[in-house]
Amino acid sequence: MTDSLSIRDNRTGRDYEIAITDGTIRAADLKQIALDGEPGLATYDPGFVNTASCRSAITYIDGDAGVLEYRGYPIEQLAESSSYLEVAYLLLNGELPTSDELAGWTHEVTHHTFLHENLKQFIQGFRYDAHPMGMLMASVSALSTYYPDAREIADPENRRLQITRLVAKMPTLGAFAYRHGQGKPYVYPDNDLSYTANFLAMLFKMSEQKYNADERLIKALEVLFILHADHEQNCSTNAVRSVGSSQVDPYSAVAAGIGALYGPLHGGANEAVLKMLRRIGTVGEFIEGVKAGKEKLMGFGHRVYKNYDPRATIIKKACDDVFAVTGVNPLLKIAMELEKIALEDEYFISRKLYPNVDFYSGLIYEALQFPPEMFTVLFAIPRTSGWLAQWQELLMDKDQKIARPKQIYTGARTRDFIPIEKR
């Protein structure tokens, strides 16, 4: 077997041999297939449906088998046995940390959680009803003005410092945005607490001297953060890489990722699941409506997973822990009934539609009393480590260039300007 592709261009009768590497051909190799005097052949792939944009050693997904691995470690094992900061270290550095390395990383992150006071005023400047994702995007972007040295992206030490700052400050920014919406005073970070415990304290602390969240809630949030830490080349990661390819600072690149995640097709599905569950009367009737094409069963189906999304299985388990503290969310019963019926129904089986990560996560967030606008913020905070791991990999990759897709031009050509009085 030869690892190549033989192509005959029927326009010219010429034959070409294109190398196949890693199950792909290089789009640039197609350029040689050309009519005389014309530009060479290109591919047309809106939405990157079948185009690899990079080589990556961070996250592996097998959608048919329902497999998700970070740096080769199955998501189930990471969710069961590690902490979010341990997973962030793994994504960023390629290997699990030793206890000393984890202690060092945790110390560094913990000591970068505070924001410049001016940034607090910046956040206070938003309207009372500003969407927390808009606030998060703007304040991450503003961070680049506080750390102009972040432009030194070729310096590994400098990159490490900015990565630490971003991972550390995201929960603070997210919590401030939340408190702003509630009209409550912002709560400063508590360096005695773990990453997730501190986040919960910054969100919910009132007049008590010390806020200690229930251990089960801390663990559940830790699991949710681990599940959302990376998901290879999705829309927001592609945005971070694309903007990062211009060699801008990491704050600006991550702000672009937050913008992409803000969109309802990406980060907003769990909110849609909740709205759907709230208005369902009879489950059987609702499913019939979905099958008749009247609407979608939100939280079901995925572009990549054609099997049970492994993250959905883990979240379902986390539901039990959260509801043991908060009381059962009455919508859970409807969700479970929907899932049971759908998994036995030919319509869903034949289309390989299974619950995805968003089917249960919204229920947990609601039980924790987050307003729906905060759901995507809870996604953006842990995804920051994945975005930055991908950004760093991009910078190290000699194959990468500034992202600049081709187009197929469909407009008019070379026309003479018409003076306005003659139009």
Ligand X SMILES: CC(C)(COP(=O)(O)OP(=O)(O)OC[C@H]1O[C@@H](n2cnc3c(N)ncnc32)[C@H](O)[C@@H]1OP(=O)(O)O)[C@@H](O)C(=O)NCCC(=O)NCCS
Residues forming contacts to ligand X in the complex (CB under 6 A) are: 269, 290, 296-303, 351, 353, 356-358
| Cα three-residue angle 229-62-6, rounded to 5 degrees | 125
Q: How far is the CB of 335 from ligand X (least distance, A)?
A: 13
Our answer to whether residue 116 is catalytic in this structure is no
Check if 358 is active-site.
yes
Q: How far is the CB of 305 from ligand X (least distance, A)?
A: 8
- Least distance from ligand X to the Cβ atom of residue 415, Å: 39
Selected catalytic residue, list 29, 214, 266, 345: 266
Q: Are 185 and 123 in contact (CB under 8 A)?
A: no
Q: Comparing C-alpha atoms, which of 237, 214, 221, 179 is closest to residue 365? A: 221
Minimum Å gap between C-beta 148 and ligand X is 37
Residue 189 is given by DSSP the state: -
Q: Is 266 a catalytic residue?
A: yes
What minimum distance in Å lies between the beta carbon of 41 and ligand X?
27
149-178 as b/e: b if 16+ CB within 10 A: ebbebeeeebbebbbbbbbbbbbbbbbbbb
Whole-angstrom Cα distance, residue 304 to residue 66? 9
For residue 179, the minimal CB distance to ligand X (Å) is 28
Torsion of CA 59, 64, 66, 71, to 10 degrees: -20
Residues 176 and 136: their CA atoms lie apart, in Å, by: 9
* Options 230, 249, 309, 358, the catalytic residue: 358
Helix or strand or coil: residue 209?
coil
Q: Cβ closer to ligand X: 192 or 288?
A: 288
Q: Which residue has the tokens 């927390």?
A: 132
Tokens 């307003």 — which residue? 371
Instruction: Give dist(CA 381, CA 148) in Å, integer.
Output: 22
Using the minimum distance from each CB to ligand X, give the nearer residue, 85 or 374.
Answer: 374
Determine which one of 231, 249, 302, 309 is catalytic. 302
Which are the contacts of 4, defined by CB distance < 8 A and separation ≥ 6?
Answer: 17, 18, 19, 20
Bridge partners of 62, per DSSP, are 67
Residue 394 · residue 58 · CB < 8 Å = no
**Residue of closest CB approach to ligand X:** 301
Q: Which residues are catalytic?
A: 266, 302, 358
